[in-house]
Homo-oligomer: A and B are copies of this chain.
């Protein structure tokens, strides 16, 4: 493959000229249309090789009116959960010949929609949301763009969903704690309680607690009942005389943060405090973290989401909202132990 030394990349016309054929014949060869003489094909392929020609995806998409790009709106990638899902999506999408553009959902109000707008301007074929968006502007933007969207690991009433069975997960996690003999079990929600996955896990938690005659207690990291999780209130919560002996965190990120608070306060896990998380982010299997958690099958979910989106795009999937729920699995490690009597 020699490379042309021209400033600009070779176009289909350059190839046609070099092969002594027409534009459209070259196009036919490229697209693998049938009914082409072997000799013609070879001539075209030779020219393509000589020129190092690569079709311009922009031009192709413009005329075809369909792109082969997914737009992914993710949360902060420094949260390993998003990073891991993102990774799975990119990998699997590639096998389906889709590329991935991404923007992170900006937490700051200013220009909240800029990233999504840019994705849409590029006429992405579909949208994948990794983080909950409860924002009418977003919804309207997506709706009016008529681009199919799938929410992974989170929810919206207006688009397809792939998520784990969060309610059941919440029940299982809570029951695990209860079966360990804990009675004062708190639920630790994310700062933004608008997240439906979070809310569902919480529902499961409440169900399990009440089914066992226990009193649910929900806390938030930033606002809500817990003013703010700083040393002071935290200290009372997990170290005081009337402390909680176990916490179920709506996600591993929070669970790890809780672990860290406990460590700073000298509260021993799991002796004095049991913790169970949700997600099974890869690093929690480290001996030093060793977090008992509900595992979400990230790879599976990523695949399902990609397939669902591809199905919508192809028109194989039609009609109203599709909701695909996956079972999650309790991974017992060392952060939750029997309550002391």
Binding site for B on A (CB under 8 A): 1, 3-4, 7-9, 52, 54-59, 61-62, 65, 67, 69, 76-78, 80, 82-84, 86-87, 90-91, 94, 99-104, 114-115, 117-123, 140, 143-146, 256, 259-260, 263-264, 282-283, 286-289
Docked-complex contact A78 and B67, CB < 8 angstroms: no
List B contacts of A99 (CB < 8 A). 101, 103, 118-119, 122
List B contacts of A4 (CB < 8 A). 144
A62: contacting residue among B59, B65, B87, B121, CB under 8 A: B59
Task: Please give the distance in Å from A66's CB to the nearest CB on chain B.
Answer: 11
List B contacts of A9 (CB < 8 A). 123, 145-146
Docked-complex contact A87 and B76, CB < 8 angstroms: yes
List B contacts of A62 (CB < 8 A). 56, 58-59, 62
What 10 pairs across the A-B complex have the smallest Cβ distances?
Answer: A3-B144, A83-B83, A263-B287, A77-B87, A57-B121, A288-B288, A57-B122, A77-B83, A101-B101, A58-B62
Docked-complex contact B282 and A263, CB < 8 angstroms: no
Task: Please give the distance in Å from A228's CB to the nearest CB on chain B.
Answer: 20
Docked-complex contact B286 and A260, CB < 8 angstroms: yes
List B contacts of A289 (CB < 8 A). 288
What are 7 contact pairs spanning A and B, CB under 8 A?
A: A57-B121, A58-B62, A69-B101, A83-B86, A256-B283, A256-B286, A264-B287
Q: In whole angstroms, what is the CA distance A55 to B24 when docked?
A: 29
Docked-complex contact B121 and A56, CB < 8 angstroms: yes
- In the complex formed, the residue of B with least CB distance to A118 is B99
Docked-complex contact A102 and B90, CB < 8 angstroms: yes
Q: In whole angstroms, what is the CA distance A76 to B146 when docked?
A: 32
List B contacts of A144 (CB < 8 A). 3-4, 52
Task: Please give the distance in Å from A272's CB to the nearest CB on chain B.
Answer: 15
Task: Please give the distance in Å from A77's CB to the nearest CB on chain B.
Answer: 4
List B contacts of A8 (CB < 8 A). 65
